[in-house]
Structure 1
């Protein structure tokens, strides 16, 4: 999916489409969703990433929305995930060619779109007051206004793992990085599975050991996001932040990776951890709906744990509060009214239920009007447990407007041995500096 959000993950948007997701179709119209009925008096377009799960959810929401609003027709267009998709979104906005509604990341990637300049504010909508604060904080512009409604559910960043293999080897879920490496070495000695799956063929997935480590960074440096945004702290000169790059190098140096790590794709990784040919796959939970597609019947064999850090007492999960649905300022008149109705519908229980038909949620919804289905995956249950325990921290890109666009490529360089962890962190600091200067942030 291209949920991938770089993430996210622009890349992570990829992931969802896959985050996760954490999505490689060329942009093109798929037409209106099936079951839409007669053409409505007003027609709007909806742009989403091209991941199978994302498209399925979009189709389901469109169908449900049109059933309640027969005077409105929604036509879906798709774009790639990752950096390619980011560029398409930026180009469409800059040329005035954006769809009437589009789904995209929030957090730092949203800030790069200059929402106050390019998007319609939505803080005056009736549903705005029922959103989770984590989502609201990550979907505001520099002017403090809300610019998006929730698209999908929240999800965690960490490690997908094969439950039967963990049971076979009598392994416990690790709460420190050292325990994770110890588990991985036991798996390597067993020889029945790759200890750590990596899928650099989808470059956005290479970021996970850096992005999902942010809870651990903030546990050690509580004001890291503030110092980082102000240009006072860097990855290369901060051991707690540089650790993510060091993790990427370590799993490669110690021979813990799958043989095809340089070319494998995200779906290969999901299949590997679901079938037990890989034991652990650093990923965002948003890709979990792909399990049934690539390994039918194996969803209950895959669990999730937060990326372990230096201290077991502060163990917790890095969170992505879903993505957003946005309206460009080029949408006007009757189309604007229809677009607002469409986003409002997505915040209701009916809208969330429709989304779940295409992509089962892997964490809580960001609208308080929505409850999770009773039948959710083990990944979703494991993710929910961190929320329930109060051990969840939004990813850095949701606490700072800065996320360098080249992180995924830099992580691939580290993971394939082209540069070491120190050099990778230095390259990322340079990447971040360019973006901070483009945003006009003080201190850079």
Structure 2
């Protein structure tokens, strides 16, 4: 899988050039000083991603902000997707040619941008006043905070058909044993228990990646220990569990026929039509199916991958990307004003009117609209209950490139789960050494 947060960044994006302006400032942003007010209008440049949802989100943010701040104009520049876009951002920051503000991943990928040298430090700044505290770690490097959430969060876990659950009298499971018991009843009713789409190999990783909440609940220091080379998947039972889940589902024949050649689009179709009851997936993947199956907005719900302890049931969150200020900006006050707006309930309302959120906003006081997708409402409950953890990829730069091949092999019964976990440990060791991480 593209790294999970890269996936959500690719699933969220923005284009358009907006017009309008505000009382800006200029000064020495490198020193973090507030610039003196400018005499005239200010134009901020804003680099955004190429995905349509990012473009729609950015357009809504810009329109609402510039309406309230008519002396600030914001123009946008669209970066290409994937590695080409990553390289462009890194190059522009390294050469001092970045736009005033820019949209980029949160989480571990942030460290590759050398934020201490390339971005404005927002630690303790009023810009962050309305950002939810549990989001801040994914925009923090070296103890300094650099960004604000650009969009809504996404949940990683199990999408399920609520109509199937209602018809069979099932309850949302809070343990893996309960989940498997539900699958038995679903199979007996002639419905595919777990939709599996291994043609798109990245989808095979979800039961491992989305199980991170349970790893964190059992071992709160796992991410730090894993990054330091001290914790391994094969020797940590809670971490091996995700591989075991893949094997369990295959062994019980809970998967759809032809799962090895099934695609994401086909999987979403099975789920939305009630021909499949569960689909391990990200909530952010749902919007495309709504054009042809609008019933999925209410018929498809979400729950976290169940663990062993019902009292600790929670969900893994794919945190939203962030908006950052380049250290080279000549309009620091205007840039901070824009970021403060982005991290406000008013901004969430503006975006909600333009883009149907697949999860909650990470802003205090921001509320989901009444017509929000059911999966977003379900994820909101986990966040309200403080029963979430960011996906491991937001906490550690270590993610082996071969995980999707390993999980396909485990999920098809070719590789035992313990062996798959051990293979992944070897896979991440190669990457950690390439990154030059200590302890490896």
Instruction: State the TM bucket, normalised to the shorter chain.
Output: 0.7 to 0.9
- Return the alpha-carbon distance in structure 1 between the equivalents of residues 173 and 347 of structure 2: 37
Shift of 1:132: 1.4
Shift of 1:61: 1.7
Unaligned 5+ residue runs, structure 2?
22-40
Matched, 1:343 2:377: no
Partner of 1:138: 138
Unaligned 5+ residue runs, structure 1?
18-22, 24-28
Partner of 2:29: none
Tell me if the contact between 1:72 and 1:338 (Cα under 8 Å) persists in the aligned partners. no
Q: Deviations over 1:19-71 (max 9, x none)?
A: xxxx9xxxxx95425xx479x86251322251x43332222223323333454
Which residues of 2 match residues 104-253 of structure 1 at below 5 A?
104-123=104-123, 125-142=125-142, 144-192=143-191, 194-253=192-251
Q: TM-score, normalised by structure 1?
A: 0.82
Change (3 A) 1:5 1:122: farther
Q: Aligned to 2:193, what secondary structure does the other structure show?
A: strand
**102-111 or 233-242, which moves further after superposition?**
102-111
**C-alpha RMSD of the superposition:** 3.3
Q: Aligned to 1:326, what secondary structure does the other structure show?
A: strand
- Return the alpha-carbon distance in structure 1 between the equivalents of residues 364 and 280 of structure 2: 29
- Return the alpha-carbon distance in structure 2 between the equivalents of residues 76 and 260 of structure 1: 43
Tell me if the contact between 1:208 and 1:283 (Cα under 8 Å) persists in the aligned partners. yes
Shift of 1:139: 1.0
- Return the alpha-carbon distance in structure 1 between the equivalents of residues 196 and 325 of structure 2: 36
Matched, 1:6 2:3: yes
Change (3 A) 1:289 1:184: same
Change (3 A) 1:37 1:85: closer
Tell me if the contact between 2:155 and 2:283 (Cα under 8 Å) persists in the aligned partners. yes
- Return the alpha-carbon distance in structure 2 between the equivalents of residues 200 and 417 of structure 1: 13
| Structure with greater Cα Rg | 2
- Return the alpha-carbon distance in structure 2 between the equivalents of residues 188 and 73 of structure 1: 54
Q: Aligned to 2:366, what secondary structure does the other structure show?
A: coil
Tell me if the contact between 2:316 and 2:389 (Cα under 8 Å) persists in the aligned partners. yes
- Return the alpha-carbon distance in structure 2 between the equivalents of residues 421 and 232 of structure 1: 21
Tell me if the contact between 2:108 and 2:396 (Cα under 8 Å) persists in the aligned partners. yes
Matched, 1:44 2:45: yes
Shift of 1:145: 1.1
Tell me if the contact between 2:345 and 2:364 (Cα under 8 Å) persists in the aligned partners. no
1:402 to 376, 398, 402: 398
How many corresponding residue pairs?
421
